[in-house]
Amino acid sequence: MNRSIRVISIIVISGIIILLLWRFSNIVFYLIAALVLSLIGRPIVNFFNSIKIKNYRLPNLISTIITILLIILFFIIAVWIFIPLVANQAEIISRIDFNSLSNSLESTLRNFENALVEYKLIGKDESIKQMIQQQLISFVNFSSFSKLFSSLIGATGSIFLAIFSIFFITFFFIKDANIVNNMIDAIIPIKHEQEFRNVIKQTKHLLSRYFIGISIEVITMIILLSLGLTIFGVQNALLIGFLGGLLNIIPYLGPIIGAIIGSLIAVSNILSYGQYHEIVGIILLVCGVFAGANLIDNIVLQPLIYSSSVKAHPIEIYVVLLIAGSLAGVPGMILAIPSYTVLRIIAKEFFSQYKIIRHLTRNI
C-alpha cells in the first residue's frame, strides 16, 4: 500500500513539474542560457581571481563584472559585424533581374514544363516560368522585408527582456559559485547531500569544458569557412562563414544546412551580376569549402571536444545523437551531449553497482 502511494506521489509530482516547466518555458530557457554562459564564464573569473599584483588580488565581484562585460562585448561585436552583412545581402538580392534570369533559363524551363504537362502534373495553360517569377519576386519584395522588420521591431521589447534576464541571472550564477549547491541542499534529503554535491561538481567541470570547446569549435569554423571562401573570391564570405559556423552546433545536419544556405547566398550574389553560367561552379565551390572545413572539424576539433571534455567514445556519442534526433529532432540533437553527460554523472554516483553503468562511466 505504502509503495503504491509512493509511486503515485512520484508520478503526480513529476507531472506537476513537467506542467510548470512547460507553462514557464521562457523562464526555463533563461535559466538554461544563463547556466551555459556561467559555465563558459567561470574559467575567465578564475583567471582574473588568480591574478596577483604584489599582495592584492581582484575581488570576486570585480572579476565577475569584468567577465560579464567581456561576454556582452563579444555579443555586441558579433551583432555589429552580422547586421551589416545581412543588410548588404538583402541589397544584393534586390538587384537580381528575374526577367533576365528566367529568359536565360527558358529552354530548360520549357523542357521541364513539357514533362510536367505530359505527366499531367500541371495544365497546358499553366506556365512554370510565370509561377517561378511570381514566387521569386514576392520573396524579395521590399514589402516582405518591411513586414519582417516590423515584426522584429514589435518583438524588440521581448528580446531586450530576455537578454537582460539572461545576463542578470548569469551574473549571480558566476558570482556565487555555490548558488546551485545551496538550492540543492534546500530540497535534497541529508543522506543524499554528498552524492548530489559530487554530481554538481563533476557536472560543472565537464560541461564547462564542453561549452568552452563548442565555442572554440564555432569560432574556428567561422574562421575556416570565411577564409576558404574569401581565398576563392566568394562574395560575402564572412556572412556565409558566420552562418555556417553557428549552424555547426547542430551535429551532422548543421554542416549540410550551412552548405545549402551558403550555396543559396553565393548563387544570389552571382545572379545579381547576371553571371548565370557560373551557378553550378559556385555551388560546387561553396560545398567544397564546407567539406574541407568539416573534414578538419571531424578529424581534429570534435575528437578533442567530445572525447576529452565529456569523456565519451565517438560511437557512444553518435548513438546518443541518433536517439535524441529521432525523439526530439534538431533541439534534441543540440541538447543530447550535455544531457547525456549529466545522466552519466548521476548514474555513476547512484547506480555504480551495475556493471553497464561502471562501463559507461569508467572515464569520468
Give the count of beta carbons closer than 10 Å to the beta carbon of residue 287.
Answer: 16
Nearby residues of 217 by Cβ (< 8 Å), 6 or more positions away:
248, 297, 301, 302, 305
Are 207 and 219 within one domain? yes
User: Does 338 fall in a domain?
Assistant: yes
Q: Please tell me the predicted confidence (pLDDT) of residue 41.
A: 87
Residues 224, 108 share a domain: no
Whether the pLDDT of residue 2 is over 60: the answer is: no
Which pLDDT belongs to residue 127? 62
Cα–Cα distance, 27 to 166 (Å, whole number)? 9
Question: Percent of the chain at pLDDT above 90?
Answer: 13
Q: What percentage of the chain carries pLDDT values higher than 70?
A: 71
The pLDDT tens digits for 334-362 are 888 888 888 888 888 777 777 777 777 77
pLDDT (0 to 100) of residue 150? 60
Is there a single domain that holds both residue 15 and residue 105? no
Would you state the pLDDT for residue 153? Answer: 61
pTM score, two decimals? 0.74
C-alpha grid cell, residue 357: 553503468
Is 18's pLDDT higher than 80? no
> What is the structure's pLDDT at 259?
92
State pLDDT tens for residues 261-319. Answer: 999 888 888 877 766 677 778 889 999 999 999 999 888 887 777 766 777 777 788 88
- Do both 209 and 290 map to the same domain? yes
| Average pLDDT of the chain to the nearest whole number | 78
What is the C-alpha to C-alpha distance for residues 318 and 45, in angstroms, rounded to an integer?
33
Task: Report yes or no: 347 and 360 within 8 Å, Cβ to Cβ.
Answer: yes
349 and 235 within one domain:
yes
Residue 194 has φ and ψ, to the nearest 5°, of -65, -40
Structural domain includes residue 16: yes
Q: Would residue 66 count as lying in a domain?
A: yes
- Identify whether residues 163 and 199 lie together within a single domain: no
Q: Summarize pLDDT for 121-138 with one digit per residue, the tens.
A: 666 666 656 666 566 555
Q: Work out how many domains the chain is built from and give that number.
A: 3
Annotate 203-263 with DSSP letters as a single string.
HHHHHHHHHHHHHHHHHHHHHHHHHHHHHTT-TTHHHHHHHHHHHTTSTTHHHHHHHHHHH
Q: Which amino acid, one-letter code, is at 3?
A: R
Is it the case that residue 226 has pLDDT exceeding 90? Answer: yes
> In this predicted structure, what is the pLDDT of residue 60?
83
- 53 DSSP 8-state letter: E
d(CA 214, CA 309): 10
C-alpha cell at 124: 497546358
More confident: 7 or 241? 241
Do 148 and 268 share a domain, yes or no? no
What DSSP line would sit under 267-334, residue for residue? HHHHHTTT-GGGHHHHHHHHHHHHHHHHHHIIIIIHIIIIIIIS---HHHHHHHHHHHHHHHHHHHHH
For CA atoms 260, 261, 263, 268, the dihedral sign is: positive
Q: Is residue 182 part of a domain?
A: no
282 and 362 both lie in a single domain:
yes
**Is 222's pLDDT higher than 70?**
yes
Identify the three-state secondary structure at position 198: helix
Spatial neighbors of 51 by CB under 8 A, at least 6 apart, are 57, 58
Distance set, CA 334 to CA 74, 214, 283 (Å): 22, 11, 27
Q: Tell me whether residue 282 is in a domain.
A: yes
Q: Is residue 183 part of a domain?
A: no
Residue 292 lies in a domain: yes
pLDDT of residue 234: 87
Residue 224 has pLDDT above 90, yes or no: yes
Let me know whether 203 and 308 are in one domain: yes
Q: Which amino acid is at 361?
A: T
Question: Over 80: is that where the pLDDT of 163 sits?
Answer: yes
pLDDT the model gives residue 69: 93
Tell the burial category of 227 from Cβ atoms under 10 Å away from its Cβ (0-12, 13-18, 19+): middle
Is residue 184 included in any domain, yes or no?
A: no
Please tell me whether residues 206 and 291 are part of one structural domain: yes
- Span 38-61, average pLDDT: 83
Domain hosting residue 358, numbered range: 189-364
Same domain, 352 and 304: yes
Same domain, 74 and 133: no
